[in-house]
């Protein structure tokens, strides 16, 4: 078995933001956003804006939501962020209008390059266009773009871009069928 010295772990100069800002956000994130207490949505929205997020009107943000760096987050109008969602945004995350992140969904903008002994970060922006629905306990991986009105179903993992109006399922997620909205 090949042994590798992981004592050389290196984030290659990645800095989340000013240390004091990161520390203060850690406490607000823990006490208000990641809390079981049902803080008002408007308070959570205001807190995100205070820390640099761009947030549209009509945000519903439930309990136990974790957001790593709000200053790297854009959320459109009329979005729903369900219980226990984790936005692990080491890179930018852009969420369009009328987007739903169901319970336990995870937006993961970073990973590590396991092929390099220093295990550096591999980061990628995530974009969720208008009308996207990310199902419960699904994962959107670094660098993925979910195009307009696409759906990632429950427990699925998006490792590649999702085409507009497509429904995707599985790990890794594959195209299942076209999304149709009945009126």
Residue range(s) defining the domain that contains residue 138: 17-178
91 is a domain residue: yes
Q: Which residues pair with 86 in a beta bridge?
A: 66, 106
From the list 14, 117, 120, the residue with the least C-alpha distance to 72 is 14
- Is 159 within a domain? yes
Q: Along the 183 residues of the chain, how does pLDDT read in single tens digits? A: 555 555 566 666 777 888 999 999 999 999 999 999 999 999 999 999 999 999 999 999 999 999 999 999 999 999 999 999 999 999 999 999 999 999 999 999 998 878 888 777 889 999 999 999 999 999 999 999 999 999 999 999 999 999 999 999 999 999 999 999 888
Alpha-carbon separation of residue 174 from 138, 168, 171 (angstroms): 13, 5, 8
Count of the separate structural domains present in the chain:
1
Between CA 91 and CA 124 the distance in angstroms is 6
The span from the CA of 94 to the CA of 13, in Å, is 23
Position 122 scores a pLDDT of 86
- The verdict on residue 2 lying in a domain is no
The two three-digit tokens of residue 139, written as one number = 């994962």
CATH of the domain at 119: 2.160.10.10
Output the pTM of the full model.
0.90
């Amino acid at each position: 078995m090949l042994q590798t010295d992981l004592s050389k772990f290196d984030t290659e100069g990645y800095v989340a933001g000013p240390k004091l800002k990161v520390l203060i956000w850690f406490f607000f994130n823990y006490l208000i956003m990641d809390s079981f207490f049902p803080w008002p949505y408007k308070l959570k929205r205001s807190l995100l804006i205070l820390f640099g997020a761009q947030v549209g009107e009509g945000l519903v943000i439930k309990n136990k939501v974790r957001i790593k760096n709000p200053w790297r987050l854009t959320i459109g109008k009329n979005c729903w962020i369900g219980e226990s969602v984790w936005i692990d945004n080491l890179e930018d995350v852009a969420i369009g209008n009328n987007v739903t992140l169901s319970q336990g969904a995870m937006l993961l903008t970073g990973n590590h390059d396991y092929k390099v002994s220093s295990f550096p970060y591999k980061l990628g922006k995530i974009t969720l266009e208008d009308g996207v629905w990310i199902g419960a306990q699904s994962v959107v991986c670094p660098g993925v773009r979910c195009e307009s009105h696409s759906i990632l179903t429950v427990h699925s993992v998006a490792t590649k871009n999702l085409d507009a109006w497509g429904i995707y399922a599985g790990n890794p997620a594959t195209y299942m069928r076209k999304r149709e909205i009945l009126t």
